[in-house]
Amino acid sequence: MSKISVMVNGLPGNVASTLIPHILADENFSLIPASLTGPDTLEEQVSCCGVNFSLIKPADRDAWISDVLLKNSGLVAIDYTHPSAVNANAIFYAKHQIPFVMGTTGGDREALSESILQSSTCAVIAPNMAKQIVGFQAMMAHAAENFPDLFKGYTLRIEESHQSGKADTSGTAKAMVRYFNSLGIPFNVDAIEMERNPERQENVWGIPAEHISGHAWHTYTLRSEDGSVCFQFTHNINGRDVYARGTLDAVSFLRQKMIMGCKGQVFSMIDVLKG
């Protein structure tokens, strides 16, 4: 099979940068030395793992992409940009029929999906690209569907901690809320407790100092009305490598779907796991 041409958008961001060495080390992928970036980025280039990437701003990308697509048939984009760019980026990908894997959270998620459903391309869109976390979510989805109101009468507390640069509430935590709702617990995403203070993360949460700049810790605590029963689910990730591995699996999955002629479809990471 020929290599899959991949464009990683969101450089010089942390998650996008984490992907680069994984792509370079994998013979199944060919990396485009350019990245879509925000309008306020001052640099014109950034270096990562010995590769110089041109940073393409929104005003320049329509003119720039035509030549890239001519030279890179079957291009797949990976989007780890910013919540404020989610919808505009999806419209751009759809306009140019570029299939994409989006791990960026935030934005108008309904409009995001709609822009793909009305297009000739496809996407894998997920708030979490870690396959093991996605598997846990699938188990919760199964419980929610088959055991409605299982935790009726229980209270729920959701705590999440991410690096201080993460602008929005955890997409994973927000996705979990609907499962707990189906299990009988009224809970609003606005009640999710966010932690972005590095000092508290290290001294109160116990997050290792070397991972303060890149982590994703989540705890869901359920208590019965009388306080005699407590259930707690925790998943803590240090670093970003687990997201890179899942993202590349999603790229391979999406490329196969495009070869099969899929159009106007939005896939999840659960689809990738079932693959």
Query: Do 92 and 58 fall within a single domain?
Result: yes
My answer on whether 114 and 142 are in the same domain is no
Q: How far apart are CA 126 and CA 105, in angstroms?
A: 8
Which residue range is the domain that position 193 belongs to? 131-238
pLDDT recorded at residue 106: 85
| 116-126 pLDDT tens trace | 999 999 999 99
The CATH number of the domain holding residue 196 is: 3.30.360.10
Pair (62, 84) in one structural domain: yes
Angle, CA of 136, 131 and 212, to the nearest 5°: 90
Asked whether the whole model's pTM tops 0.85, one would answer no
Are 213 and 250 members of one domain? no
Q: Is residue 99 located within the same domain as residue 14?
A: yes
Clarify whether residues 118 and 174 are in a common domain: no
**Can you give the pLDDT of all 275 residues of the chain as single tens digits?**
689 999 999 999 989 999 999 999 999 999 999 999 989 888 999 999 999 999 999 999 999 999 999 999 899 999 999 999 999 999 999 999 999 999 988 899 999 999 999 999 999 999 889 999 999 999 999 999 999 999 999 999 999 999 998 888 998 999 999 999 999 999 999 999 999 999 999 999 999 999 999 999 999 999 999 999 999 999 999 999 999 999 999 999 999 999 999 999 999 999 999 98
Query: Residues of 171-187 as b/e, b for ≥16 C-beta within 10 angstroms?
Result: bbbbbbbebbebbbbeb
Return d(Cα 273, Cα 268) in angstroms, integer.
9
Q: Looking at the structure, tell me whether residues 173 and 79 fall in a common domain.
A: no
Active-site residue among 82, 166, 174, 215? 166
Whether residue 22 lies in the annotated active site: no
* Shared-domain flag, residues 114 and 183: no
Averaged pLDDT score across all residues of the chain: 95
3-state secondary structure 68-93: HHHHCCCCEEEECCCHHHHHHHHHHH
Residues 68 and 175 in one domain: no
Annotation marks residue 166 as catalytic: yes
Among candidate residues 22, 82, 142, 162, the one labeled active-site is: 162
